[in-house]
């Protein structure tokens, strides 16, 4: 694994030379294909993923089959690190939302590195706090804010993590992720398109007016960014 690959993931880039060298021989590059499940609810976590690109959603699946997103991460974070801190089974599902690549390491190898390094352990705790903040804010957002505000907030977060204004997302998937009905998302997406905030066609989304979309988003978007800054974590 070269230094360019290391630096593209925030967690890997933050490691000291010694901490990185402890895990480097055990890292493998893997493809993150859409809908790939990296963690399954109630099952043992066996791998840790450090994304270099793409977006991963942490979702809750309800008995009736609905799926609701509680948080999302990309190259800013790590998936499965909770197993190195004592949470050995999945408490949510982790599913690839947008494709990309990641470095993967066996949990046992990663846990051994965490046990040797207080700095790495502190980094993982902060990222765990950031996920908790996201989950809390998302729960409040879905319960209190309009579909328009929630969709704008969600699209902005996807943009931040993907580093692109273009992505492939169906209306059904967007509706599931923000806890809304598909017809409601269809109406809102059409409204945003008419206002030229976005362009949407056949599952392809393009953000045209970043400032306009930011103005529509609820305060949850800024609140999560502010919490990341307090924890001194890049987004």
Q: Which tokens is 3 given?
A: 């230094």
Tell me how far CA of residue 119 lies from CA of 132, 133, 228, in angstroms.
Answer: 20, 21, 18
Confidence label for 67 from pLDDT (cuts 50, 70 and 90): confident
Query: Mind listing the pLDDT tens digit for each residue in 27-36?
Result: 999 999 999 9
Least confident interval from 75-79, 85-89, 208-212: 85-89
Q: Which residues sit opposite 152 in a β-bridge?
A: none
| pLDDT over 80 (residue 63) | no
Mean pLDDT score, 79-84? 92
| pLDDT over 70 (residue 11) | yes
Question: Tokens 């705790």 map to which residue?
Answer: 125
Confidence label for 175 from pLDDT (cuts 50, 70 and 90): very high
For the chain, the average pLDDT equals 91
Mean pLDDT score, 202-207? 93
Q: Which domains does the chain have, with CATH numbers?
A: 3-119 (2.60.120.10), 146-217 (1.10.10.10)
| pLDDT over 60 (residue 211) | yes
| pLDDT over 60 (residue 60) | yes
Pairing label, strands 47-51, 28-32: unpaired
């Amino acid at each position: 694994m070269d230094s360019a690959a290391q630096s593209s993931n925030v967690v890997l880039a933050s490691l000291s030379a010694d901490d990185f060298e402890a895990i480097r021989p055990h890292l493998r590059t893997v493809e993150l294909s859409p809908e790939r499940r990296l963690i399954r609810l109630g099952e043992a976590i066996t791998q840790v993923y450090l994304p270099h690109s793409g977006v991963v959603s942490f979702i809750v699946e309800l008995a009736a089959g609905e799926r609701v997103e509680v948080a999302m991460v990309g190259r800013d974070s790590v998936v499965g690190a909770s197993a190195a801190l004592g949470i050995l089974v999945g408490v949510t599902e982790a599913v690839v939302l947008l494709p990309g690549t990641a470095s993967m390491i066996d949990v046992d190898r990663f846990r051994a590195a965490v046990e040797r390094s207080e700095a790495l352990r502190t980094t993982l705790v902060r990222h765990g706090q950031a996920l908790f903040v996201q989950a809390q804010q998302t729960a409040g957002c879905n319960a209190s804010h309009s579909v328009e505000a929630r969709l704008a907030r969600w699209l902005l977060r996807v943009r931040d993590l993907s580093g692109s204004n273009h992505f492939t997302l169906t209306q059904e998937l967007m509706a599931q992720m923000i806890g809304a009905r598909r017809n409601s998302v269809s109406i809102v997406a059409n409204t945003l398109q008419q206002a030229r905030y976005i362009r949407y066609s056949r599952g392809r989304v393009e953000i045209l007016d970043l400032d306009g979309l930011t103005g529509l988003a609820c305060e949850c978007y800024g609140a999560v960014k502010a919490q990341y800054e307090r924890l001194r974590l890049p987004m």
